[in-house]
């Protein structure tokens, strides 16, 4: 039985990953800040399948207390899914809140790097895998995407860099780059504005957390000689548009 650690397992893509991996017979270390949602996963699958870890990914001390005291059955981590992340705001850079930018960098970049660094020795010992949640925003800039897109470009490039460094170790690394997935993402981005979230996804038939979770499970379950380096996914109804031009 393999063990996966999923950060941000209390909502959206991470919650779907926890369920999908659990159903596929994996042990799941599920992390997040909302205890009741982690408890619900334990109630659904049992404490022998889901181990809840309540911490803010930016709080390294709290994270270390949780991860350094894992039950023996969960202590050997075969796959790390770096999913916890967020966007805050849609304002152009010149109207953005610096505090929001710092939260995105601290969560999407610094915490992801720190957890990866902590787990790398164990992942190398077990020839495990790392699946990082980047975004189409890593590749395609859009107005108001500024620091969020930059943080996801970091995640993509960090993933590819890890592939280089881990050559010969057997460790697999993948950057997953979704477009619109209907989760709590837009609710968080817009300060809890449910109407704004509903409006964004209306009529799009967006990707679901389960769509991405099935992809992450597929990546993690491939024969050990196969590595998906990066994978971009969009709903059919999302695609590309031209450059904007400002006229004087």
Binding residues for ligand 8X3 restricted to 210-239, rule: CB under 6 A:
none
Q: Residue 237, exposed/middle/buried by CB under 10 A (0-12, 13-18, 19+)?
A: exposed
Which residues lie closer than 8 Å to 125 by C-beta, 6 or more apart? none
Q: Does 188 bind ligand NDP (CB under 6 A)?
A: yes
State yes or no: is 201 an active-site residue.
no
Binding residues for ligand 8X3 restricted to 166-185, rule: CB under 6 A:
179-180
Count of CB atoms situated within 10 Å of the CB of 71: 11
Find the shortest distance in angstroms from Cβ 195 to ligand NDP: 17
Which residues lie closer than 8 Å to 191 by C-beta, 6 or more apart? none
Per rule CB under 6 A, count of chain residues that contact ligand NDP: 28
Find the shortest distance in angstroms from Cβ 35 to ligand 8X3: 26
3-state secondary structure of 5: strand
Q: Indicate which single residue of 53, 57, 77, 136 sits in contact with ligand 8X3 (rule: CB under 6 A).
A: 136
Please choose, out of 32-40, 94-102, 130-138, 166-174, the segment that lies near ligand 8X3 by the rule CB under 6 A: 130-138
Q: Residue 43, exposed/middle/buried by CB under 10 A (0-12, 13-18, 19+)?
A: exposed
Which residues lie closer than 8 Å to 229 by C-beta, 6 or more apart? 159, 160, 163, 173, 174, 175
Please choose, out of 21-29, 61-69, 132-140, 209-217, the segment that lies near ligand 8X3 by the rule CB under 6 A: 132-140
Binding residues for ligand NDP restricted to 109-168, rule: CB under 6 A:
133, 135
| 239 touches 140 (CB < 8 A) | no
Using CB under 6 A, list all residues that contact ligand 8X3: 135-137, 145, 179-180
> Which residues are identified as catalytic?
148
The contact set with ligand NDP (CB under 6 A) reads 8-14, 32-34, 56-58, 83-86, 107, 133, 135, 178, 180-181, 183-185, 188, 209
């Amino acid at each position: 039985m393999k063990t996966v650690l999923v950060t941000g397992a209390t909502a959206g893509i991470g919650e779907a990953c926890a369920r999908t991996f659990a159903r596929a017979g994996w042990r799941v270390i599920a992390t997040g800040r909302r205890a009741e949602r982690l408890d619900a996963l334990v109630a659904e699958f049992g404490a022998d399948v889901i181990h809840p870890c309540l911490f803010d990914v930016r709080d390294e001390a709290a994270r270390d207390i949780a991860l350094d005291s894992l039950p023996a059955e969960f202590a050997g981590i075969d796959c790390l899914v770096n999913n916890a992340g967020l966007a805050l705001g849609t304002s152009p850079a010149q109207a953005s809140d610096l505090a929001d930018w710092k939260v995105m960098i601290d969560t999407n970049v610094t915490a992801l790097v720190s957890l990866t660094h902590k787990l790398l020795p164990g992942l190398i010992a077990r020839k495990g895998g790392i699946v990082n949640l980047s975004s189409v925003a890593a590749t395609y800039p859009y107005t108001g995407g500024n620091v969020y897109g930059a943080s996801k470009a970091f995640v993509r490039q960090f993933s590819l860099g890890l592939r280089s460094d881990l050559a010969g170790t057997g460790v697999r690394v993948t950057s997953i780059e979704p477009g619109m997935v209907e989760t709590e993402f837009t609710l968080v981005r817009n300060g809890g504005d449910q109407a704004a979230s509903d409006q964004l996804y209306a009529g799009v038939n967006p990707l679901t957390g389960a769509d991405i979770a099935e992809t992450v499970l597929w990546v993690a379950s491939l024969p050990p000689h196969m590595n998906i380096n990066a994978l971009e996914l969009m709903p059919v109804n999302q695609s590309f548009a031209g450059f904007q031009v400002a006229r004087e």
